[in-house]
Amino acid sequence: MVKKISIRILMLLLVLITLNFIYTYTLFKKDIGDMCPQALEIKKAQNSTDIYYFAESSNFNTRETDSIQNSISEITNFFYPKLKITTIQTPAVHAFMYKNWLGQINTSKKLPKAIIITLNSRSFDATWINSNLETQLQQSMVLLRPYPNIINRFALSLQLFDTKTEKEREQIMLTNWDTTKLIFPFTFKYKTVREWDYTTNFENFYKNPDGSKNESKTILACHYIKTYALNINNNNPRVKDFDAICNWCAQHHVKLYLNLLAENVQYADSLVGKELVFLIKQNRDYLVKRYNTQNCTVVDNLEVVNGIEFTDQSWTTEHYSYKGRMIIAKNLATALKTQFGNYYKKAY
């Protein structure tokens, strides 16, 4: 009986190995190209890449009126014309995706000299963590899991990934706003995001000159509250993903630069007030302290871009005019001089 079971297990393993071989050399590359083309870009560019730049839309978003349409990574590369910076980017991605992208770098081949990753403090909030795009993003990562390709394909077919509905994600977000206590080192009248948002929207709203409610300005103030009113801590899933990113880079002796993006602190102050600005800066301090290590440099751009230079004036995004992108790129280029000073060339 035991012998029959062992033979069946062996036959099953042989079948799986055969199916994995066939799938890997026939349909796998096409599936990866459909689900996560960034993985193919990483592999294709590895031998010629000195630095990878992983980013979401902050890197490539531009204004139509910009005289120069270059991205942050392209402007940074202007300062290092003899280095090859390969940009891997797609909208709405975050640390979980970056972590999986790192796994596509073949550690048995030539490794990049450095990795630059956008550190977007807004990506730590409940809105982004529970975005309606999250199911699609999670799906795109299934084929990159560290298992045989055929097993990952079965998992994709069976939808063995985070498939929460938009309604379920929204409820998790609302529960977070209702129950998570905001922590201040001083007395503050609102205990949760929901209290703060509700009062701003229905009691302390912005008024027009005639005394009526200024809907657009009030909505924007409430959006700033729901976006930035949080205390980033060790339990945040983004923190765990960035920890894994740092560990990978340290393990493989690849220098890591976290490009902490600018937020519209000026508008947060004028629309909501000093308490919200305190939380934004406190979260920046947490991230800088946690990740500024021997192998990792946090490039702090939080307050370097003026409010008027943000492309989206009625929403919270990290989209900048050319001037804003230039400021961030210059700061990043300056940070890179510690490692690549011999390659630096003043570009502007």
- Report the mean per-residue pLDDT for the chain: 96
Confidence class for position 8, pLDDT limits 50, 70, 90: confident
The predicted structure's pLDDT at residue 117: 98
195, amino acid identity: E
Residue 17 has pLDDT above 60, yes or no: yes
Close Cβ partners of 305 (under 8 Å, ≥ 6 residues apart) = 262, 264, 320, 324, 327, 328
Over range 99-124, report the average pLDDT: 97
274, amino acid identity: K
135 located within any domain: no
Backbone angles phi, psi at 117, to 5 degrees: -130, 135
24 located within any domain: no
Nearest to 101 by CA among 31, 38, 173, 34: 38
Cα 30 to Cα 1: distance, rounded to the nearest angstrom:
43
8 located within any domain: no
Over range 319-323, report the average pLDDT: 97
Fill in the DSSP letter of residue 27: T
Residue 347 has pLDDT above 80, yes or no: no
Over range 61-87, report the average pLDDT: 96
Q: What is the CATH number of the domain that holds 278?
A: 3.40.50.1110
Structural domain including 112 reads: 36-125+181-343
The predicted structure's pLDDT at residue 304: 98
164 located within any domain: no
Cα 136 to Cα 156: distance, rounded to the nearest angstrom:
12
The predicted structure's pLDDT at residue 255: 98
Residue 286 has pLDDT above 90, yes or no: yes
Fill in the DSSP letter of residue 46: G
Close Cβ partners of 100 (under 8 Å, ≥ 6 residues apart) = 141, 144
Give me the number of domains the chain comprises: 1
54, amino acid identity: F
Q: Write the pLDDT tens digit of every residue in 168-219.
A: 999 999 999 999 999 999 999 999 999 999 999 999 999 999 999 999 999 9
Close Cβ partners of 14 (under 8 Å, ≥ 6 residues apart) = none
Q: Write the pLDDT tens digit of every residue in 185-199.
A: 999 999 999 999 999
The predicted structure's pLDDT at residue 4: 66
Confidence class for position 6, pLDDT limits 50, 70, 90: confident
Q: Are 291 and 242 in contact (CB under 8 A)?
A: yes
The predicted structure's pLDDT at residue 15: 85
Over range 69-88, report the average pLDDT: 98
Confidence class for position 9, pLDDT limits 50, 70, 90: confident
Phi-psi region of 117 (alpha: psi -120 to 50; beta: other; left: phi over 0): beta
Q: Are 228 and 282 in contact (CB under 8 A)?
A: no
290 located within any domain: yes
Q: What is the DSSP string of 196-265?
A: HHHHHHHTS--B-TTSSB-HHHHHHHHHHHHHH-----TT-HHHHHHHHHHHHHHHTT-EEEEEE----H
More confident residue, 250 or 8: 250
Cα 128 to Cα 51: distance, rounded to the nearest angstrom:
27
96 located within any domain: yes
41 located within any domain: yes
Signed CA dihedral, 307, 310, 312, 316: sign only: negative
The predicted structure's pLDDT at residue 2: 56
HSE-up (13 A, CA, CB side) for residue 299: 24
The predicted structure's pLDDT at residue 5: 65
Cα 256 to Cα 249: distance, rounded to the nearest angstrom:
6
Over range 318-323, report the average pLDDT: 97
3 located within any domain: no
Over range 285-307, report the average pLDDT: 97
Residue 1 has pLDDT above 80, yes or no: no
Q: What is the DSSP string of 260-290?
A: E----HHHHHHHT-HHHHHHHHHHHHHHHHH
Rounded to 5°, angle at Cα 225 from 223 and 229? 135
